């Protein structure tokens, strides 16, 4: 263990997702050797992110305004709604250039073992949108893992009684246990265009 603030920095970096103790130590020592101006820019950006980024009041995507750029875009097809788990999944679908509708970000997936149920996700907001907007198809684009499949099943049961609403799921081809953000554009694009009705 290191002394004082160096160990504090390593500990805080280690709390970030995907950063283990060795990576946290490498990053900490990189920061110690970095020019003070670069550290200042990093501090400024971190402060701006915390103060300036919010979640879109409509879809839940990250935004610098009350509505994200996708919800503000009048060229988008409002009859198509793609339901994803996290804002990073919006970017993954957008990279395919196959989808021209709008999104709804749940803010996670069902995970009873971790205490995440429907009330912890943006399910009520989804139902409110479907009641207020003229949506003809909901595309469920949750991750192809246990939690994502459980969330998709819950959504299908919740949405099947909406009159005139078509509920679809991304086609197979995405590896089970993966995340949408790691799928290449071609595979995700094919899964989106080949979606199946549920």
- Residue 19 pLDDT: 92
- CA nearest to 193, candidates 79, 78, 71, 80: 80
Contacts of 65 (CB under 8 A, 6+ apart): 54, 72
For the chain (length 198 residues), average pLDDT per consecutive 10?
A: 88 91 92 91 87 92 94 96 96 92 97 92 96 94 90 94 90 59 66 69
Q: Which CATH number does the domain 4-52 belong to among 3.30.590.20, 1.10.8.420, 2.60.40.10, 3.40.630.40? A: 1.10.8.420
Instruction: Give residues with Cβ within 8 angstroms of 156, minimum separation 6.
Output: 140, 167, 169, 198
Query: What does the domain layout of the chain look like in residue ranges?
Result: 4-52, 67-171+187-193
CATH architecture of 67-171+187-193: 3-Layer(aba) Sandwich (3.40)
pLDDT for 172: 63
Q: What string of DSSP letters covers 172-189?
A: S-SPTT--GGGS-HHHHH
Q: How far is CA 164 from CA 101, 125, 153, 155, 167, in A?
A: 18, 19, 19, 16, 10
pTM, entire model: 0.76
DSSP lists the bridge partners of residue 54 as: 63
Asked if 141 contacts 82 with a C-beta cutoff of 8 angstroms, the reply is yes
Locate all alpha helices (DSSP H) within the chain, ordered by sequence.
4-14, 21-33, 36-52, 69-72, 87-96, 123-132, 146-159, 185-193
Of 150, 155, 184, 152, the closest CA to residue 170 belongs to 152
């Amino acid at each position: 263990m290191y002394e004082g603030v160096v160990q504090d920095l390593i500990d805080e970096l280690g709390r970030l997702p995907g950063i283990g103790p060795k990576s946290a130590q490498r990053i900490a020592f990189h920061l110690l050797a970095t020019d003070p101006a670069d550290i200042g820019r990093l501090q400024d950006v971190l402060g701006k992110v915390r103060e300036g980024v919010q979640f879109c009041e409509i879809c839940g995507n990250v935004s610098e305004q009350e509505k994200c750029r996708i919800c503000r875009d009048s060229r988008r097809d409002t009859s198509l709604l793609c339901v994803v788990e996290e804002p990073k999944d919006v970017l993954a679908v957008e990279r395919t250039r196959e989808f021209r509708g709008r999104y709804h970000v749940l803010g996670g997936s069902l995970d009873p073992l971790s205490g995440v149920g429907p009330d912890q996700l943006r399910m009520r907001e989804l139902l409110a949108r479907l009641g207020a907007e003229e949506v003809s198809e909901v595309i469920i684009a949750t991750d192809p893992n246990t939690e994502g499949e459980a969330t998709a099943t819950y959504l299908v049961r919740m949405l099947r009684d909406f009159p005139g609403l078509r509920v679809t799921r991304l086609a197979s081809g995405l590896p089970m246990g993966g995340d949408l953000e790691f799928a290449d554009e071609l595979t995700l694009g094919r899964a989106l265009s080949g979606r199946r009705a549920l």
